[in-house]
Amino acid sequence: MSNGAFQAGTWIPLPSNCTRSYKITYYRCAEWGKQLIEQCLTWALTQTIQCIQWGWSQVSKCSSWSWFFCVLFAIIVTFGCLAFGLVVSLVCTAVGVIEIVVCLVWSLVSIIFCLSQANGGTAFLLTDGSIMMQESIGANLYYLGIGLVSWGSNRWWKLTPDQFGSYANGSWSQLADSNLSRTFYASGVLADGRVVVCGGEYSADPFGMIEQNSTNTCEIYDPVANTWTPFASPTSPGANPKTWAHIGDAPCAVLPDGTFLLGSDLDSNIAKLDPSTLTWTAMKPRPPVSQTVGTIAVTSDEDSWVLMPDSTVVGPSCQADDPPTTWIYSVGPPDNWTQGNDLTNSVVETDDNEIGPGLLLYDGTAFFFGANEHTAIYAPLPVPVWSNGPDLPDQIVNGQPMKIGIQDGPAALLVNGNVLFGAGVRVTDPTGQPWSSPSWFFEYDGSTFNRTTDPPNYVTYTYATRLLLLPNGDVLFCKQDDSSFYAYHSDAATPQDSYRPVIQVCPASFQSGNTIQISGTQFNGLSQAVGYGDDSTTATNYPLVRIINNQTNHVRYCRTHDHTTVDANGNTVPSMGVATGAAVVTTNVDIPGDIDLGDAMLFVVANGIPSQPFAVTVTTGLF
């Protein structure tokens, strides 16, 4: 089934995040040196130990009459190795001192010419229409034989659109630093507007060094207070619950009732967070599955999860791929795991168990991109069916057709139902790790993969890129190793009226500085709209409110929060589902105190799709 018309889009430059803070500029420079010095000292220590071990290993090869000389040799080797390690450590330290001096001087120059700019990273759409982005530290050093060196910092920024709603003319401001620097983690925007983050395949150790430690820590960001607050890690089920040792880059999903579902990258455990109390409930663990090698335990590591309209979460299993296994998780209560039918062609890369993004399409099916050229489709029929979709098209490289895939990488649902995504050929980085590169862009219309234009900075691994659907229907593109940001715009991306939120109840007049309630249908959109896989989860299925003043044409996004609906039992519950149909959703809207007064048009926006305009009048608030 074809979704929307295709017309190759354009990439609109967004403002770079230039910083004139001497402290931040210095940190950006010094962080590089800090990590490189750590690697240098670690290498020196490793080589010294291996050298000493080699020397003493020769003793066991000696006969009894030569044992004394062998021990003497080992002692001499030990002193030589220690001397080598000391010299290399001194060189590392000297380089570190030089780097500090260079950074002190360079920071002054950078402030004058505004050279210090934040790289892109995981980005969220806050409910006031602004973009919250993590700053990454990184560069692609592939041509130096090193590869992509990048990690997420603890610095966060906000891009606010200008007075006419333009992100291209918007401005950056700094948010509070998170408690931990983390990279590739579980996350989500909650019904109350806060942002939760858990885990991280990489994070900072107590000394600030970035380690691949699969941290089990969690924290939550409050955009009103501009604060980060740590909270407890999930625990296993049973009479003697144990705190999860790992969260790492675990997959996750904000569920229709507003809770936060989290998988484990270490074992079969599943947990659910109640955002109102920040407490975890241990859910039913993933059951073992039958494979060619026998029955095996399954983790959620590397999985790509998609939330369906019936509140199930589905996906192919990245850890049970022989044969290619699929699953359906019913949230319940009671919660339950069901194994789906096997796929004919696996969408998982066998070398490292990676997969691409998954998205719920407007036709009600879930579509998964493979780390290889294959795709998968989940159809939620009375008896659910998994099948392979069309293969990604070969690309001509140096005159030869090459298979492409997405070994970790993003996709976003355009407002006309087409899927924007980047894919690349399989390449091996200098460490021997296979990845997809570069990030060539396509629109999938439900039947055809249409090659579209690429952003100017598309040459990188797909896993380093991020996409985020914006309230104006464009799609933000950023990447960890670059400070240039773009928005993809297609004139053909216009939504059908059936996709739009529908306003049913809204005050015709309200005062600035007050909070109002608006009710209607499809306020949560028809999909979570943004996918990546296990490393980045930034769904946008929640209502935003945009007010355009009739006289000034000024555009103002108003913070929404605490979206609710009424469940089958008549209880008012959070509303974070998808394709909620005729269910009435109510959201709270904070009207800014400095908003333009007078007649205006109000829109509810979900996944970049606006409702029909609703005429309102904004009056002076009482202070």
DSSP string, 465-533: EEEEE-TTS-EEEEETT---EEEEE-TT----GGGS-EEEE--SEEETT-EEEEEEE-TT-SS--EE--
The reply to whether 481 and 550 lie within a common domain is: no
**How far apart are alpha carbons 28 and 405 in whole angstroms?**
33
**How far apart are alpha carbons 462 and 424 in whole angstroms?**
7
**How far apart are alpha carbons 91 and 202 in whole angstroms?**
27
User: Do you find a cis peptide bond into 613, omega within 30 degrees of 0?
Assistant: no
Residue 282 lies in a domain: no
Alpha carbon 527 to chain centroid, angstroms: 16
Last residue of a domain, one of 481, 497, 513: 497
Convert the pLDDT of each residue in 322-335 to its tens digit.
Answer: 889 999 999 878 89
CATH assignment at residue 224: 2.130.10.80
Quick one: three-class SS letters along 156-175?
A: EEEEECCCCCCCCCCEEEEC
Convert the pLDDT of each residue in 357-392 to its tens digit.
Answer: 999 999 999 999 999 999 999 999 999 999 999 999
Convert the pLDDT of each residue in 6-56 to its tens digit.
Answer: 899 999 999 998 877 888 888 777 777 776 777 778 888 888 999 988 888
Residue 251: predicted pLDDT: 95
**How far apart are alpha carbons 475 and 530 in whole angstroms?**
10
CATH assignment at residue 574: 2.60.40.10
- Burial class of residue 277 (count of CB atoms within 10 Å of its CB; 0-12, 13-18, 19+): exposed
Residue 1: predicted pLDDT: 45
The reply to whether 479 and 507 lie within a common domain is: no
The reply to whether 298 and 376 lie within a common domain is: yes
The reply to whether 146 and 70 lie within a common domain is: no
Convert the pLDDT of each residue in 184-193 to its tens digit.
Answer: 999 999 999 9
Residue with tokens 């509140």: 311
Lookup: tokens for 600: 């205006």
Determine the average pLDDT of the residues in 299-327.
93
**How far apart are alpha carbons 393 and 444 in whole angstroms?**
11
Residue 1 lies in a domain: no
Phi/psi-derived region of residue 523, left when phi > 0, alpha when psi is between -120 and 50, beta in every other case:
alpha
**How far apart are alpha carbons 527 and 364 in whole angstroms?**
9
Last residue of a domain, one of 465, 497, 529: 497
Convert the pLDDT of each residue in 127-152 to its tens digit.
Answer: 999 999 999 987 655 444 445 567 88
**Strand 279-282 to strand 270-274: parallel, antiparallel, or no bridges (unpaired)?**
antiparallel
Residue 527: predicted pLDDT: 98
The reply to whether 489 and 524 lie within a common domain is: no
Q: Could you give the C-alpha distances from 277 to 232, 233, 264, in angstroms and in order?
A: 11, 13, 21
Determine the average pLDDT of the residues in 530-555.
96
CB contact at 8 A, 445 and 568: no
- Burial class of residue 210 (count of CB atoms within 10 Å of its CB; 0-12, 13-18, 19+): buried
**Strand 614-619 to strand 509-511: parallel, antiparallel, or no bridges (unpaired)?**
parallel
Lookup: tokens for 391: 């293969």
The reply to whether 510 and 583 lie within a common domain is: yes
Residue 2 lies in a domain: no
Residue 471 lies in a domain: yes
Residue with tokens 């108003």: 558
Residue 407: predicted pLDDT: 94
Residue 143: predicted pLDDT: 45
CB contact at 8 A, 174 and 18: no
Residue 555 lies in a domain: yes
Residue 89: predicted pLDDT: 87
Residue 5 lies in a domain: no
Convert the pLDDT of each residue in 479-500 to its tens digit.
Answer: 998 999 999 999 999 999 999 9
The reply to whether 345 and 364 lie within a common domain is: yes
CB contact at 8 A, 348 and 321: yes
**Number of structural domains the chain divides into:** 3
The reply to whether 570 and 482 lie within a common domain is: no
Residue 208: predicted pLDDT: 66
Residue 325 lies in a domain: yes
The reply to whether 490 and 502 lie within a common domain is: no
Convert the pLDDT of each residue in 613-622 to its tens digit.
Answer: 999 999 997 6
The reply to whether 194 and 332 lie within a common domain is: yes
Lookup: tokens for 528: 């979570």
Domain range for 88 is: 22-113
Residue 481 lies in a domain: yes
Mean pLDDT (the chain, rounded): 91
Beta bridge partners of 548: 555, 601
**How far apart are alpha carbons 254 and 125 in whole angstroms?**
14
Tell me the whole-structure pTM to 2 decimals: 0.91
Residue 120: predicted pLDDT: 94
Residue 293: predicted pLDDT: 82
User: Do you find a cis peptide bond into 234, omega within 30 degrees of 0?
Assistant: no
The reply to whether 139 and 271 lie within a common domain is: yes
Residue 144: predicted pLDDT: 46
The reply to whether 46 and 70 lie within a common domain is: yes
Last residue of a domain, one of 79, 113, 147: 113
